[in-house]
Amino acid sequence: MIEKLVKIIVQRLKLRAANKTSIAVSKMPRDPVAIFMESGTVRLTQVNKHFLERILSGNRAESLSIWFEKAAEYGVDIELELYDHGEPWLNYEILSQLDFPVFTSTGERLFYSSGRVICYGDSALIPSGSTLCKYKKQLITPLANEYLSKNNIAVRERQ
């Protein structure tokens, strides 16, 4: 009897871990428990500058804080998807301050290195197929550049 119960629980946990749900920021439910019970990953879509600023501000809206705390309690991974490519409104430095992975609406994962020089160690942390966002003033070492091109990591640059 107990073995059957354990088997069912393990099966449900595996299904939950594989399940991914997308929710528009404007339609985030007040009580996300039902979503967290069914999904191991929740992607918040249509994220804009205002929402990112709310996440980073020390005094977030209470409902937003509760939402993220419940996600942590349930072991849910939160992902943020920008409503567009994040140009030109996205301040790249925000990417390194967020605790959540950030994606464009086309699925590119965005990374930012805050150093003046982007070296191999910085680039080696970026998964293949992602995008490195940098400012013109930042330099990339030849070894890092080789790693980026070899691993199909796009580089997005702006002033």
pLDDT band of residue 144 (cuts 50, 70, 90) is very high
Q: Which amino acid is at 126?
A: I
Q: In this structure, are residues 133 and 156 in contact, taking their beta carbons and an 8 Å threshold? A: yes
Q: Please state whether beta strands 102-103 and 117-118 pair in parallel, antiparallel, or not at all (unpaired).
A: unpaired
Cα–Cα distance measured from residue 142 to residue 120, given in angstroms and rounded to the nearest whole number: 8
Q: How do residues 44-94 score in pLDDT, each as one tens digit?
A: 999 988 888 888 886 666 778 888 888 889 889 999 999 877 667 888 888
What are the structure tokens assigned to 128, written together? 């293949």
Please state whether 138 falls in left (phi above 0), alpha (psi between -120 and 50) or beta.
beta
Of 89, 157, 86, 153, the residue nearest 120 (C-alpha):
153
Q: What is the pLDDT of residues 7-39, one digit of tens each?
A: 888 888 788 778 888 899 888 888 888 888 888
Domain boundaries, the chain: 1-106, 108-159
pTM of the model: 0.84
What is the pLDDT, as a whole number, of residue 61? 63
